[in-house]
Amino acid sequence: MIRSALMNVMTAAALKAGRGLKRDFGEVENLQVSVKGPGDFVTAADRKSEKTLFEELSKARPGYGFVLEESGIVEGTDKSHTWYIDPLDGTTNFLHGLPIFAISIGLAREGQIVAGLVYNPATEDMYIAEKGQGAYHNNRRLRVAARRNFGDALIGCGVPHPGKKGHVGFRAEFAAVMARASNLRRLGAAAIDLCYVAQGSYDGFWERELQPWDIAAGILIIKEAGGYVTDADGNPDMLTTGSICAGNEAIHSQLLTLIRAAK
């Protein structure tokens, strides 16, 4: 288990924000909801969670910059550190009473992700990783699945909303992967999807049009669990391109080939 001062700060902030999310999840029908874009909702719970995370992390690590889903970029005086925060990943699930949602916190140092945390307060699943220290689910060390045969693989994915440009292209990718894999899943919280690759529940995962706060933490958690993760073109700059393809070495490469060839 990782017991660094940094991870203590991150877990304390996530547990505090998580208590608020859990309370709001119990009274979801009373929440104020607004729409940011096609299929993209924001609730009072997202905003409260973000405020708590911002306050707690700013107090513990003064000067670090932030990339926050709801409030945008907050420049820090310390230019080498940036937090990437999704205060509630899986808002649609949250609004529908599905307990598949999480807080996601990633920390970049000099542009490299060095720490990641994904916490689902409904189930108390906590996934953490620090660069070079491994990845953990609660106290258990994580390892990606060993399966190499694509025909046996369970593959997770994300569906770009019909209002988004990637929606039509996704159908071709979905058909291509469905024709070869054992089966597919779409759970609706990208941060958790990535942790499911890290723990070997999914053999692979791909999605496009994500944002850095959705994936910063999960990317490190997969890498520290021995997985491979690139963007949908096989390049390493997922935080910029927003697409992601992940798995163990064998499944990652087969999944990448399928989605690149899909038309």
The closest alpha carbon to 54, from 40, 41, 66, 39, belongs to 66
Query: Stretches 88-96, 138-146, 167-175, 247-255: which one binds ligand IPD (CB under 6 A)?
Result: 88-96
* CA dist list (Å): 117 to 2, 36, 71, 243: 11, 25, 20, 20
Phi-psi region at 207: left, alpha or beta (left = phi > 0; alpha = psi -120 to 50): beta
Contact by Cβ (8 Å): 190, 214? yes
Build a one-symbol-per-residue string for 64-103: x at contacts with Ca ion by CB under 5 A, - elsewhere: -----x----------------x-xx--------------
242 binds ligand IPD (CB under 6 A): no
Neighbours of 166 (CB within 10 A): 18
CB of 102 to ligand IPD, least distance (A): 9
Residue 50, burial from CB neighbour count under 10 angstroms (0-12, 13-18, 19+):
buried
Residue of 50, 86, 130, 231 that binds ligand IPD (CB under 6 A)? 86
Judged by CB, which is closer to ligand IPD: 185, or 260?
185
Residue bearing tokens 């859990």:
22
Sign of the CA dihedral with 196 first, then 123, 214, and 237 last: negative
Residue bearing tokens 């598949």:
100
Beta bridge partners, 78, equal: 64
CB of 89 to ligand IPD, least distance (A): 4
Residue of 68, 210, 216, 256 that binds ligand IPD (CB under 6 A)? 210
Distance CA 144, CA 154 (A): 13
- Binding partner of residue 158 among ligand IPD, Ca ion, none, CB under 5 to 8 Å per kind? ligand IPD
Residue of 121, 188, 218, 247 that binds ligand IPD (CB under 6 A)? 188
Residue of 24, 50, 56, 89 that binds ligand IPD (CB under 6 A)? 89
CB of 76 to ligand IPD, least distance (A): 23
Residue of 90, 166, 218, 242 that binds ligand IPD (CB under 6 A)? 90
Build a one-symbol-per-residue string for 204-243: x at contacts with Ca ion by CB under 5 A, - elsewhere: ----------x-----------------------------
Residues that bind ligand IPD (CB under 6 A): 40, 86, 89-92, 158, 188-190, 207, 210, 214
